[in-house]
Each structure stands twice: as structure tokens, then as C-alpha cells.
């Protein structure tokens, strides 16, 4: 009898987890009418999205101004200004952590290398498999696979052709487009993580007015990208650092391409990896080609912040690290030496971007005392096994 009771309890426990896991894994969307977030003081429209907006959600806009939603009435939300995010300082913390993780492979690249380290991988998948672009397909929903898969394929090829970075692109479908989609795509993400990728990307397209995402690329229509973070992710800090590093780089190299960073009330399966992100590649009112024009440029931010390489050559930070190793006599045989290389590279990078030396020192002090410490503490508590890359 006792055994039977235990089995019944176990059955209902598993059943309850099946019901609640989609809510934890992914947020709800309303594709019938987008949500509008407005500054509660200036009444300026901050963003529009199909993500269901709740109190506590946050948004970092193109100018790195951070807001938090304080009230939601229907499909209109009010948000209060929190302050301006210093994305460059966060980017330095991310660069330091990546050098600790990939140090020897990263700084051992040949001078002026345009190729990613051998054997490195990025993974791509699509939770909402039907998402499409109306100007291209005539519908915002195409089954079993929408236009987002084509954009993912273009991105995968771009990474390979531009810097030699291998991309594992899953064509698995996770239909229907409902609250359980993230539970289904979680299995795909777990499978992809067995490939030991340095980053795993869930590619979507938003539902919002054309004006929210419209931009131009070499005089042709483009669709901005929005980075989405799950604020219920217990390891949010490390994923956030990755997002800030990408935005910091993209803002300089591809100004206007990143619409901002949205923090939704879910995890979006980002608890599986410290470098898992969700990208909204334009709106349903953009064309697929517009999304591709932006993404083939923006996606170069990935190898730039992970390995310090770009199609044109090493980034300023990566080149400074190489020079420090070769000309300064710093032996790259210990963790301490890697940290020194990052700090030297970061200092050179900041000197090129700051107005005076005191500003550089202030930012480096904040990096050392706050961002790097918080980042390393959070990554150490993440409970994720260290990659064997």
C-alpha cells in the first residue's frame, strides 16, 4: 500500500512539473496586438513588442538607458527610468571571463588573424518555428518552418565564411506556437549543448509596427535586432554580461542595428548556459531580406567578443593583448597573466574611447571592484559544468 501511495505521489509530481515548466521556461506572447512601453515621466514610447509585458520587466534602449515597468493597463505599460548602463565596463568583465575560460586558444591566435580558434562552435535554434515575415511569405506564420529558419541558415553560413566559426543550426520544429514551445525547444537546446558551443542562440522575429525595427543597410531596408533576456533565470548576471558585450561592440561597429535589450518574465531556457541569448530579428512587418542584411553584420559581434577576431582582423582588445604578450614579456602560462592581458587590452581600448586618463582609471576601477567580481562570483555559483573546449 505504501509503495502504491509513493507511486501516485510521484506520478502527480511529474505531471505538475509538466504543467508548470512551460511557464518557467518561456514567456507568453500576444501576436494579436503588441504591447507598448512608455516612459512614465516623458510619455515617450520606449518599445513595442509581442512579448506580454508584466510589472518588473525591464528595457535597455539604444542609448543604454535602463527602465523598469511599474504599471500595466491592457496593452500599455508605464516604465520608470533607472539609470544609464555602462556597457563598456560590463564588456570588459565579459572579456576577462572569456580569457580565463579560453585564454590560451584565444591569445594564441596569429597576428592580425581573421579566423576564429579551431574547433570552436556556436549553436542556433528556433523555439517559435512558424515565425515569418509578411512582405516575404504573405503571412506572419508558416508551418512547419517559417522564414526565421532561412535567416538562421544565412547567419550560420556568414559565421563560417567570415571567420571560420562552425555553427550548428538545428532545423527541429517546436510547433505549435504556444506556451509549451519553450519546453519542447529546451530538449533541442540540451541536445545542442552536447556539442559544447561557446554560445547558443534562439532566433525569433517580433510582432510590432514596422517603425519599431526599421533601419537601413547600405541604403537598403534593414530590420533591427533586439536582445531578450529572461529575468527569472537564476544565472541572469552572466547572460546579461554577454548581452552587454555584444551591444557594446555592435554600437560602435554597427550603430543603430541593436534596438535594445528586453528583460522578460521568464527564463527562455537561458538557465542552461551562461552564453545563451534570444534575438528578435525584426518584426513581422519587415521583410526576411531586411532581417538578413542586419544580422549578417551584427552576428560578427559574436566572434569579436568571444575570441577577439573579426573578418577585417583582430579587434582593438585582442590586438592589445597580443602585443602585451609578445612585446611586454608577459608569459601566458598562468591565469594571472591572462587577466593582465585583458586589463592591458581593455586600457588601450578605453584610451581610444575616453576623453581623459582619469575617466579610463575610473572605469577600470569599477571593472575590477564590481563587474569582474560579480561576474566571476555568479559564474562560479551557476552550477553549470565547465566546458572542456
- Rounded to the nearest integer, the mean pLDDT of the chain is 82
Residue 364 lies in a domain: no
Kindly report whether the global pTM for this prediction surpasses the value 0.85: no
Model confidence pLDDT, tens digit, residues 229-238: 999 999 999 9
DSSP β-ladder status, 313-314 and 309-310: antiparallel
Residue 215 lies in a domain: yes
Q: Are residues 148 and 295 in the same domain?
A: yes
* Domain end call among 280, 309, 338: 309
Q: Are residues 210 and 76 in the same domain?
A: no
Residue 382 lies in a domain: no
Q: Are residues 173 and 212 in the same domain?
A: yes
Q: Are residues 217 and 125 in the same domain?
A: yes
Model confidence pLDDT, tens digit, residues 115-158: 999 999 999 999 999 999 999 999 999 999 999 999 999 999 99
Q: Are residues 289 and 173 in the same domain?
A: yes
Q: Are residues 142 and 80 in the same domain?
A: no
d(CA 143, CA 130): 5
The alpha carbon of residue 31 and the mean position of all alpha carbons in its chain are separated, in whole angstroms, by 22
Q: Are residues 77 and 223 in the same domain?
A: no
DSSP β-ladder status, 35-39 and 76-84: parallel
Q: Are residues 148 and 261 in the same domain?
A: yes
Residue 294 lies in a domain: yes
Residue 175 lies in a domain: yes
Total of domains in the chain: 2
Model confidence pLDDT, tens digit, residues 236-275: 999 999 999 999 999 999 999 999 999 999 999 999 999 9
Q: Are residues 45 and 132 in the same domain?
A: no
Q: For residue 224, give the CATH number of its domain.
A: 3.40.630.40
Q: Are residues 214 and 290 in the same domain?
A: yes
Comparing CA positions, the residue from 242, 222, 337, 338 lying closest to residue 291 is: 222
The whole domain housing 185 covers 113-309
Amino acid at each position: 500500500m505504501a509503495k502504491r501511495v509513493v507511486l501516485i505521489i510521484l506520478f502527480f509530481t511529474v505531471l505538475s512539473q509538466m504543467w508548470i515548466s512551460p511557464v518557467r521556461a518561456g514567456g507568453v506572447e500576444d501576436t494579436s496586438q503588441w504591447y507598448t512601453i512608455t516612459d512614465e515621466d516623458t510619455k515617450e514610447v520606449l518599445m513595442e513588442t509581442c512579448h506580454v509585458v508584466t510589472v518588473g520587466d525591464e528595457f535597455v534602449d539604444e542609448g543604454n538607458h535602463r527602465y523598469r515597468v511599474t504599471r500595466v493597463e491592457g496593452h500599455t505599460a508605464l516604465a520608470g527610468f533607472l539609470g544609464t548602463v555602462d556597457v563598456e565596463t560590463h564588456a570588459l568583465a565579459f572579456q576577462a571571463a572569456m580569457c580565463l575560460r579560453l585564454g590560451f586558444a584565444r591569445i594564441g591566435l596569429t597576428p592580425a588573424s581573421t579566423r576564429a580558434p579551431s574547433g570552436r562552435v556556436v549553436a542556433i535554434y528556433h523555439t517559435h518555428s512558424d515565425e515569418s515575415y509578411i512582405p516575404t511569405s504573405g503571412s506572419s506564420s508558416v508551418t512547419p518552418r517559417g522564414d526565421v529558419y532561412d535567416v538562421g541558415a544565412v547567419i550560420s553560413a556568414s559565421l563560417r565564411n567570415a571567420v571560420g566559426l562552425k555553427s550548428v543550426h538545428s532545423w527541429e520544429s517546436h510547433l505549435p506556437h504556444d506556451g509549451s514551445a519553450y519546453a519542447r525547444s529546451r530538449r533541442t537546446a540540451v541536445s545542442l549543448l552536447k556539442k559544447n558551443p561557446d554560445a547558443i542562440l534562439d532566433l525569433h522575429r517580433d510582432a510590432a509596427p514596422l517603425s519599431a525595427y526599421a533601419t537601413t543597410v547600405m541604403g537598403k531596408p534593414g530590420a533591427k535586432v533586439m536582445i531578450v533576456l529572461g529575468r527569472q533565470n537564476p544565472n541572469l548576471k552572466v547572460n546579461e554580461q554577454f548581452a552587454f558585450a555584444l551591444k557594446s561592440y555592435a554600437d560602435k561597429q554597427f550603430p543603430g542595428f541593436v534596438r535594445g535589450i528586453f528583460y522578460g518574465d521568464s527564463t527562455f531556457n537561458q538557465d542552461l548556459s551562461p552564453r545563451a541569448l534570444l534575438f528578435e530579428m525584426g518584426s513581422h512587418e519587415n521583410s526576411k531580406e531586411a532581417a538578413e542584411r542586419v544580422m549578417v553584420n551584427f552576428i560578427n559581434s559574436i566572434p569579436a567578443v568571444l575570441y577577439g577576431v573579426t573578418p577585417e582582423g583582430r579587434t582593438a582588445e585582442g590586438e592589445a593583448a597580443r602585443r602585451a604578450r609578445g612585446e611586454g614579456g608577459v608569459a601566458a602560462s598562468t591565469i594571472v597573466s591572462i587577466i593582465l592581458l585583458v586589463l592591458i587590452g581593455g586600457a588601450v581600448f578605453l584610451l581610444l574611447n575616453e576623453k581623459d586618463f582619469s575617466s579610463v582609471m575610473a572605469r577600470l576601477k569599477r571593472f575590477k571592484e564590481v563587474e569582474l567580481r560579480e561576474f566571476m562570483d555568479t559564474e562560479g555559483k551557476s552550477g553549470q559544468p565547465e566546458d572542456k573546449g
